[in-house]
Amino acid sequence: MESELHQLSEAMTMPRPRECLACYVLRMLEFGCHGRHWMGRYRAMRAPRATALERRMAQKGGYCDCEMLMNVVFPNPRYFRVDEDGDIVIDPKPPCLGVRGGSTQPCALWVGRGLGRGLYSF
Ligand SMILES: [Zn+2]
Ligand SMILES: [Zn+2]
C-alpha cells in the first residue's frame, strides 16, 4: 500500500492553492482511504500548526479520511444537486470555494452535523 502511494506523483497529491481540507481529502480519496494519510498530508503541507487536527477529527467520528467525509463534514445542499429521493449528489463536485492559508476549515461547500447551525468549526 505504501509503495502504491509513493508511485503517485507529488504534484497530483499536492493541495491546490486555497483548496480546503474537505475538498482536498475528497479529491484524494480517488486514490483510496489510507487511514489519516490525506488529512495528515494536508496538515503538513498547508497547516503545520494545526497539530491537533487528526485528534479533533477522531473525536467527531472521523477516524480516517473517508470517515471524515461521512461523519464530520457534509455537502452543503446549496451547492450540490439533490436527486428525486432528496439525496445529495456529490458528483460532479463544484470547485472548492477556497480558504485562507493555514486554515483547516472546510470551504462553504461543506457543513457540519445539523444543518442551519452555520459552518462547522474544527
Ligand atoms: Zn477510511
Ligand atoms: Zn473546499
List the chain domain ranges. 2-111
Alpha-carbon distances, residue 106 vs 2, 45, 83, 84, 96 (angstroms): 27, 16, 23, 27, 9
- Compute the distance from residue 37 Cα to the ligand 2 centre, in Å: 18
Ligand sitting nearest the alpha carbon of 94: 2
Mean pLDDT of 103-116: 79
Over residues 21-48, the pLDDT tens digits come to 999 999 999 999 999 999 999 999 999 9
Residues with CB under 5 A from ligand 1 (ion): 33, 64, 66
What is the predicted pLDDT for the residue at 116? 40
**Distance of CA 29 from the midpoint of ligand 1 (Å):** 9
Interval between CA 4 and ligand 1 midpoint (Å): 16
- Determine the pLDDT at residue 91: 87
